[in-house]
Amino acid sequence: MRSFWRTIDSGTLRDIALVCAADAIVGASFGAIAVSGGLDPWVPVAMSLLVFAGGAQFAAVGVVLAGGGPAAAVAAGLVLNARLLPFGFAVADALGSRWWTRLPGAHLIMDEAVAFAMRHDDPRRRRDVFWTCGVALFACWNAGVAAGVAAGRAIGDTAALGLDAAFPTVLLALVLPSLASPGVRRAALTGAGVAVAATPFLPAGLPVLLAPAGLLAAARRRRRGTPGDTMPGET
């Protein structure tokens, strides 16, 4: 059987390594902020192993540290991770046809692994790239989180190092590429306005769950045929 390493070009391996290094750094900031905010060290470690979704983890922990309840934290993570459903259909062939490969493969679906796999048309190469990227990212992310937990307990106040900015920075990085479309920008601004307006009246963590109301406004504008309101992928 040919090794994964023989079907993946050196440029792709280099790009995967760079992404792994960046994710390890982000994972370390996640672990440090979580424990310095008051969470038990096992919480970010267990979340990284069982959830393995950086943006959703940042969102859920951010809600908890802001005073929100567990239900609001879970809902925030689910809303953010909804994008992974179509990703699963896009790379279904790379996960294999048996349940013992599909289950771990589904756990490894993330933006980076999908993006690298979608570069290739050859089924074998897509599969090899997906699994190589997914397993490497899983290992690096969890190692980074564990290191961050240890560092956070030693540092105490991560805000002094500016790590508290990691939560909004990571979430902004996730949505920034989509804001190129005028329709998406309007939807985002409308949703943000709704969330901000609801903040004085709702418990922490709940206002952000009202932000998808911006999508309803965008949908109404598209039905009216307003120019410039196409969403990504639409023509």
The pLDDT tens digits of the residues spanning 221-234 come to 666 655 445 444 44
User: Structure tokens of 44?
Assistant: 């970010």
Cβ proximity of 95 and 101 under 8 Å: yes
pLDDT, mean of residues 169-189:
70
**Average pLDDT of the chain?**
79
pLDDT tens readout for residues 45-57: 999 999 998 888 8
In the DSSP assignment, the letter for residue 94 is G
- State mean pLDDT over 96-103: 86
**One-letter amino acid of 51:** V
Paired tokens of 149: 């937990």
Helix axes 123-155, 42-50, angle to 10 degrees: 170
| pLDDT (0 to 100) of residue 233 | 44
Using H for helix, E for strand and C for coil, what is the string for 36-81?
HCCCCCHHHHHHHHHCCCHHHHHHHHHHHHCCCCHHHHHHHHHHHH
pLDDT digits (tens, 9 = 90+) for 116-162: 888 888 888 888 999 999 999 999 999 999 999 998 877 766 555 66
